[in-house]
Amino acid sequence: MAPTRRGENRTAPALISLADEVIAESGARLELVTPERTLAPDIGGLNYPAYLKAFQTHGVTITLGLRLRRVARQGNQLEATLRSDYTHGEVERVVDQVVVEHGTLPLDELYFELKPQSRNQGEVD
């Protein structure tokens, strides 16, 4: 059995597609978990078919409406706990690897450094 990799992905569509496609093409079983109500809402209509084709070609499981809550070691595997924002119910998955993407943090130090000196306290006009 190939290693199982599961992750919650919320980022730029091109990066999601690339990372997930590389994992799927490696022969690993992949489950894409997202708290969104639809898969990849930021992907446009022209790119969506290629995105879904890649997932279906490699047997990617898509799970909507769940968010990664915690990961705990279970022997030589990991137990990923996924939680619904809607029902607050939780489900567990025992996997070999968890890949998580939570986006990036802004480089906002300069903004906050200059904000007190601005006339409008940094408000957008």
Task: Give yes or no for a contact between 103 and 10, defined as CB atoms under 8 angstroms apart.
Answer: yes
Phi-psi region of 27 (alpha: psi -120 to 50; beta: other; left: phi over 0): left
What are 74's strand-pairing partners?
Answer: 77
The mean pLDDT value for 39-59 works out to 83
**CATH numbers and ranges of domains, the chain:** 4-117 (3.50.50.60)
DSSP assigned state of 3: P
- Token pair recorded at residue 7: 């992750």
Per-residue confidence (pLDDT) for residue 65, from 0 to 100: 93
The first and second tokens of residue 42, run together, are: 């930021």
Q: Is the pLDDT of residue 4 over 70?
A: no
What is the DSSP-derived secondary structure letter of residue 62? Answer: E
Which pLDDT belongs to residue 16?
A: 54
- In this prediction, residue 12 carries a pLDDT of 43
DSSP 8-state assignment for residue 115: G
Q: How far apart are CA 86 and CA 59, in angstroms?
A: 27
pLDDT in tens, 60-103: 899 999 999 999 999 999 999 999 999 999 999 999 888 887 77
pTM: 0.65
Q: What is the arithmetic mean of pLDDT over 14-29?
A: 74
